[in-house]
Amino acid sequence: MAEDSKSTKPLDNGRRKFLNTAGIAGIAGAGATLGLAGCNKAEQAPTAAAPAPAKPAAAGHSKVEVAPGQLDDYYLMSSGGHSGEMRIIGVPSGRTLKRIPIFNIDPMSGWGITNESKKIVGTKADGSVKYRTGDTHHVHGSYTDGTYDGKYFWVNDKINNRLARVRGDYMECDKITEIPNVQGFHGIFPDKRDPVDAAINHTTRVFCGAEFHMPLPNTPKNWKEGTGYACLLTCVDAESMEVRWQVKVDGNMDLCATSYDGKLAALNSYNTENGQVFADMMSAERDACIFFNVERIEAAIKAGKSFTVGDSKVPVVDGTREANKDPKTALTCYVPVPKNPHGVNISPDGKYYVCAGKLSPTATVIEHALVLKWFNGEVKEAQECVVGEPEIGLGPLHTGFDNKGNAYTSLFLDSQVVKWNVAAAIAQYKGDKQVKVVLDRIDVHYQPGHSYASMGETKEADGKFFMSGNKFSKDRFLPVGPLHVETEQLIDISGDKMVLLADHTAHPEPHDAIIVRRDLIKTKQIYTLEDHPLHIKGFDDTGIKRNGNKVTVRIMSVAPTFTPSEFVLKKGDEVTVIITNHDKVEDLHHGFAIEYHDVNMIVGPQETKSVTFKVERPGVFWYYCTHFCHALHLEMRGRMVVEA
């Protein structure tokens, strides 16, 4: 900041006051009722007395700033919560490089307006998009050999229960699949290789966890009694995006992790009692991290041991505890963890899952090899798969990893990130009372949810950056009215001590994200003309065709002109405008809007898009280029004439 800056540091008591009102007050009440007693507050959370303020960390600043003309080192691929979009953000700069419209309507690109996007989103009988809303929580990318291959990214919608895929070359959504018989579709994770076929060392499945239990099939009949409620895990084919199979489970799933050998998918599950009201949901002593044996599930389906639910044709197998008592034939393994887990992540060496939840101040370390042994009958109780349970702080949720065996867990209630050593946690669990498990903690601002290390969900975890997606920003930014922006705080984890580098803003509401090394992303800059079956081949291919009151207008754009620059319709016509952009210069998009007709879309170099609408109002209406293209961009327009 300039020396004459008027910047002021927010008063530190603001932080604690806020934590008290919004965070801890609520859980303190719940904790009293629900047995939140395992945490020595004084030891774990330095929040009681005046805490050390978050330092400006001047030493770290040069690591954030990306000078003009320089490029970022990483892509942050982030979910956008109920904005319905996915986002690409540069790391360390925090600059938003792209918003990818998915479950929302985007007039900038024409998403939800063009015929091409509507086909992906789905339409109602009247031709409008089926859904305008979505609640994205998790973004994950496709893997080859245990690291990102940049081919696909997936993101969920929790409102209307859809899985969307973004292709990594164009960074655009190309498929959306509605998941049958689930509600509150929350966590996703692609597999990393096939559990059986060693040649398939890349992603071919995406696992989807459903959080809200619901009647199967969905009928209001016994809603009050709550009988017949369950949740399904869903497996979607990564290429075809069709639903392969589902598994019925006990409890409500949210997060998901997959093993590096392709054998297991892990989902944390709360309310394993399958209760309908809060008291019932809290009757058991522990919940579970559920492990799904992919090979066995697919064999069971092949053997016809499946059923269907309602109108859905998707095969469903029974993964409840009751139906999977014999480990040697079990499809699922329920490893007990403290109540209400809300996070499961796997370490980059593929050996350990870390599962945590806000009602216990601990993280549960589960060993992958032991879970496989349980499925082989070599471990008696699923509980024995747990190899560590360190106390790390209040409200632990999500864990990222570096390349030195350390874990970084967000502490929701403490508003901190805690660094701890996995091997030390295991040694401590075995009885070593001297070992130092917790290595460092750092304040974040405020109420962190997910957090993510650079490359931390791959075998190439590099231990450089860590980001904390925080739910409240309060006094960290200039006030902009009742609704505050959220934060993505950037932390340097390359040294022994964590250093807070930057408060990046995040449009509500960031949930999960992944930090991808930039050399793994390989995008295309130009579309392929022939990819669209209706593309305009050249000037001779432009013009107007009428079929009754259905009119097709074929327009070619070459900066700074539309050809044709005028076309005549009749009131009541249903018109389809098809535009092919014949420009070949990188980034040279044209926009196409029609005055008073609520139409806008952009068409990239060599791309074709179309839009269909009715004309009901006689007159002359200009169409024009809305996306800057050329020195004569303002002159790039034409007239649509609607005769009475």
Under rule CB under 8 A, which residues in 282-341 are in contact with its own copies? none
Number of residues that bind its own copies (CB under 8 A): 167
Structure tokens given for 70:
């320089």
Per-residue mark of binding to its own copies, 568-597 (x: CB under 8 A): x----------------xxxxx-x-xxxx-
- The contacts found for 167-171 with CB under 8 angstroms, 24 or more apart, are 168/141, 168/142, 168/521, 168/522, 168/523, 169/522, 169/523, 169/524, 170/523, 170/524, 170/527, 171/88, 171/98, 171/100, 171/523
In SS3 terms, 231-265 reads as EEEEEEECCCCCEEEEEEECCEEEEEEECCCCCEE
* Residue 358 in the binding site for its own copies (CB under 8 A): yes
Largest Cα–Cα separation, the chain:
88
Q: For its own copies, which is the closer residue by CB, 172 or 194? A: 172
Q: Is 96 in the site for its own copies (CB under 8 A)?
A: yes
Does 122 contact its own copies by CB under 8 A? no
Order of all β-strands in the sheet with 352-356 = 344-346, 352-356, 363-367, 386-388
Minimum CB separation of residue 32 from its own copies in Å reads: 13
Instruction: Figure out which of the listed residues 119, 122, 127, 132 binds its own copies, where binding follows CB under 8 A.
Output: 132
**Binding to its own copies, residues 250-269 (CB under 8 A):** 254
Closer by beta carbon to its own copies, 127 or else 377: 127
User: Is residue 227 involved in binding its own copies (CB under 8 A)?
Assistant: no
Stretch that binds its own copies, among 76-84, 370-378, 379-387, 426-434 (CB under 8 A): 76-84
Site for its own copies contains 558 (CB under 8 A): no
- Binding to its own copies by residue 37, rule CB under 8 A? no
Q: How far is the CB of 335 from its own copies (least distance, A)?
A: 21
Query: Which residue lies nearer to its own copies by CB, 64 or 423?
Result: 64
Distance CA 338, CA 324 (A): 21
Considering only residues 364 to 403 of the shown chain, the ones binding its own copies according to CB under 8 A are 395
Range list of β-strands (E), 6-138: 74-79, 85-91, 96-101
Query: Residue 151 interacts with its own copies (CB under 8 A)?
Result: no
Identify which of residues 373 and 507 has a Cβ nearer to its own copies in the complex. Answer: 507
Say whether residue 471 binds its own copies (CB under 8 A): yes
- Smallest gap from Cβ 595 to its own copies, in A, equals 4
Interface with its own copies, residue 230, by CB under 8 A: no
* DSSP-assigned letters across all residues of 464-485: SEEEEEES--TTSS---SSSPP
Q: Is 509 in the site for its own copies (CB under 8 A)?
A: yes
Q: Which of 139, 173, 264, 642 binds its own copies (CB under 8 A)?
A: 642
Q: How far is the CB of 405 from its own copies (least distance, A)?
A: 21
Q: Three-state SS for 121? A: helix
In whole angstroms, give the CA distance from residue 143 to residue 458: 8
Part in contact with its own copies (CB under 8 A); list of ranges 115-123, 294-302, 401-409, 615-623: 615-623
Q: In the chain, helix, strand, coil percent, each to 5?
A: 15, 40, 45
User: Is 264 in contact with 189 (CB distance < 8 Å)?
Assistant: no
Per CB under 8 A, does 431 bind its own copies? Answer: no
* Residue 637 beta carbon to its own copies: minimum distance, rounded to whole angstroms: 7
Q: CB of 563: closest distance to its own copies in angstroms?
A: 14
The answer to whether residue 551 forms part of the interface with its own copies (CB under 8 A) is no
Closer of 227 and 376 to its own copies (Cβ):
227
1 binds its own copies (CB under 8 A): yes
Rounded distance between C-alpha atoms, residue 416 and residue 418, angstroms: 6
Task: Return d(Cα 53, Cα 205) in angstroms, integer.
Answer: 45
Phi (first) and psi of residue 344, to 5 degrees: -145, 130
Shortest distance, CB of residue 196 to its own copies, whole angstroms? 35
Q: Which of 68, 304, 431, 548 binds its own copies (CB under 8 A)?
A: 68
Name residues contacting its own copies, limited to 45-64 (CB under 8 A): 53-54, 56-58, 61-64
Give least dist CB 99 to its own copies, A.
6
Give the residue from 120, 115, 159 showing the smallest Cα distance to 137.
159
176: contact with its own copies by CB under 8 A: no
Give the range of 21-29, 195-203, 236-244, 419-427 binding its own copies by CB under 8 A.
21-29
Q: Cα–chain-centroid distance for residue 232?
A: 19
**Chain centroid, CA 542 distance in Å:** 41
Q: Is 279 one of the binding residues for its own copies (CB under 8 A)?
A: no
* CA-closest candidate to residue 292, choices 322, 324, 270, 315: 324
CA torsion sign, 214 to 296 to 368 to 458? negative
Q: How far apart are the first and last CA of the chain?
A: 62
Q: How far is the CB of 134 from its own copies (least distance, A)?
A: 7
Distance separating alpha carbons of residues 96 and 90, to the nearest angstrom = 6
Pick between residue 242 and residue 598 the one whose CB is nearest to its own copies.
Answer: 598
Question: Which member of 33, 40, 128, 283 binds its own copies (CB under 8 A)?
Answer: 128
